[in-house]
């Protein structure tokens, strides 16, 4: 990760959190009416990018096409609270959509929920990758404050 990083973690610690956390990313984009729109997405973190997948015709894809500036957050919902958030630019990559979707299914579903995996893969011809390139990132970790060293 070559992103400007603020907070208690080193870049290596933030990368470890992103690679090991199988929780959704929340992606905020400018809505057509000027209000922020939030989409919850499965994600992969690799080579300085966060990768998600969505249908080409989805609302979040249309918002990104119109305005690539966005914000994201990946945070635990269980104690102790910790996470990574930032500002970014997002682009869509139709050529990587199906491959990213396959990897996301493996990461989030594994061998469980095969019916859902089959349904998702059946729509992969219309899938696009959301490529999120962070420009400023902050992290937090309340483990010590909340009585846990994890």
Which CATH number belongs to the domain containing residue 72 in this structure? Answer: 2.30.110.10
Residue 74 domain-assigned (yes or no): yes
pLDDT digits (tens, 9 = 90+) for 103-139: 999 999 987 788 887 878 888 899 999 999 999 999 9
Mean pLDDT of 73-80: 89
Residue 147 domain-assigned (yes or no): no
Residue 51 domain-assigned (yes or no): yes
Residue 45 domain-assigned (yes or no): yes
Residue 124 pLDDT: 86
Residue 70 domain-assigned (yes or no): yes
Decide the pairing of beta strands 127-141 and 5-6: parallel
Structure tokens at 96: 């990587």
Residue 130 near residue 52 (C-beta atoms within 8 A): yes
Quote the pTM value: 0.90
Residue 78 pLDDT: 80
51, burial (CB in 10 Å: exposed 0-12, middle 13-18, buried 19+): buried
Domain that holds residue 68: 5-141
Number of domains in the chain: 1
Residue 116 domain-assigned (yes or no): yes
Burial 60-77 (b: 16+ CB within 10 A, else e): bbebbeeebebbbebbee
Helix pair 114-121, 97-108: axis angle to 10 deg = 170
- How far apart CA 60 and CA 48 sit, in angstroms, is 21
């Amino acid at each position: 990760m070559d992103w400007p990083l603020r907070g208690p973690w080193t870049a290596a610690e933030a990368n470890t959190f992103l690679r090991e956390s199988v929780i959704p990313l929340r992606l905020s984009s400018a809505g057509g009416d000027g209000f922020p729109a939030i989409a919850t997405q499965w994600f992969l973190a690799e080579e300085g990018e966060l990768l998600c997948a969505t249908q080409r015709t989805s609302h979040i894809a249309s918002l990104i096409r119109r305005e690539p500036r966005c914000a994201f957050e990946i945070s635990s919902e269980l104690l102790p609270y910790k996470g990574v958030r930032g500002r970014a630019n997002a682009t869509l990559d139709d050529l990587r959509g199906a491959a990213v979707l396959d990897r996301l299914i493996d990461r989030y579903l594994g061998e469980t929920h095969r019916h859902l995996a089959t349904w998702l893969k059946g729509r992969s011809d219309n899938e696009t990758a959301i490529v999120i390139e962070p420009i400023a990132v902050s992290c937090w970790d309340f483990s010590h404050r909340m009585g846990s060293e994890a």
